[in-house]
Amino acid sequence: MVIVRPIETADIDALMTIAEASGHGFTSLPLNRDLLERKIKRSEASFSAEVAGPHDEGYLMVLEDTETGEVVGTSGIEAAVGLVDAFYHYRLGTEVYHSEKLSVRNEVETLTMCHDYTGAAELCTLFLKKDYRHSGNGRLLSKHRFLFMAQHPHRFGERVIAEMRGVSDDQGQSPFFDWLQKHFFTIDFPYADYLSGMGEKSFMAELMPRNPIYTCLLPTEAQQVIGRVHPNTRPALKLLEAEGLRCRGYVDIFDAGPTVECLLGDIASVRNSDNYQVVIVDALPEEGVKLLAANDKTQDYRAAQVTVHSEAQDGVVYITHKQAAALKVQQGDTLRLLLS
């Protein structure tokens, strides 16, 4: 069985392994042990904090194989981005040049650096080891976050976003960043991405173009990747789009990957999940309905796929002692359920 739980200090070696496996463009997990240790401590503090509203909390969870104890994936949520460090995006826009006298009209696409997503909650740090990309594990690792947010909405910004990894090659070179590097940065994409993940963001304001960029002036290779995702990111994007998240014209300032968004209350899994009272039984029929289940706790948060004998009805769900132990619930406790 695999379960989702909050990350712990003892997971640092596993997190380092995942950071290495995630490769270039995975900004939220830079390959730096000290920083990852700080991320774990911040997450532990966030899960234990009593909050009246979202601020600088970050919730990092791991997927654990309970048979082996191995950590096989990660997923996270930022409560509200940009309240402490600046949170940059490019906003796609259009400028119109029109001369009635000459009967000439041209529309030119622009990229303007902005902070429009300040205060939004962010879905981040989604990674699953290749050997576990089956049996609905990726779906659990991504969608459980919506159950956690639905249960604790006061902890998160009203708007929810996810930055999707943009196009880059196996060496970590981005066609979009190549143009920025040539004219503005003189540092390569992996290093710029690493600095960003380390929280060293002052160079962005210092070196990024200060005026809107006319995309028609970019090399063709750079134009073609604006708003496109890395091939490995397509399944994650498809899942988020099914939840109702859409790109509203914002892209990453380094690789031009799209950012998708939705109001928290409009996310499909938030709307379609509900709380049920737990009834623990000795056994269930072998045939049943598979659900995503998450308890209503914070520090002892757990989520998993569970099979029950029928769809939960009348506000009650029947689970076994083993399932209850994995989800850290007792008789009469609450589980939030979503048909998986």
**Among 36, 43, 31, which Cα is nearest to 12's?**
36
The DSSP code for 155 is: G
E strand map for 37-120: 58-65, 71-78, 89-99, 104-114
Give the integer Cα–Cα distance in Å for 279 and 319. Answer: 6
**What type of residue is 129?**
K
Q: Taking a C-beta distance cutoff of 8 angstroms, is the pair 308, 262 a contact?
A: no
Per the annotation, the verdict on 309 as an active-site residue is no
Of 24, 89, 144, 230, catalytic: 230
**Among 150, 6, 148, 162, which Cα is nearest to 74's?**
6
Residue 100: CA count within 13 A, CB half-sphere:
0
Give the integer Cα–Cα distance in Å for 120 and 54. Answer: 9
Q: Which residues are catalytic?
A: 230
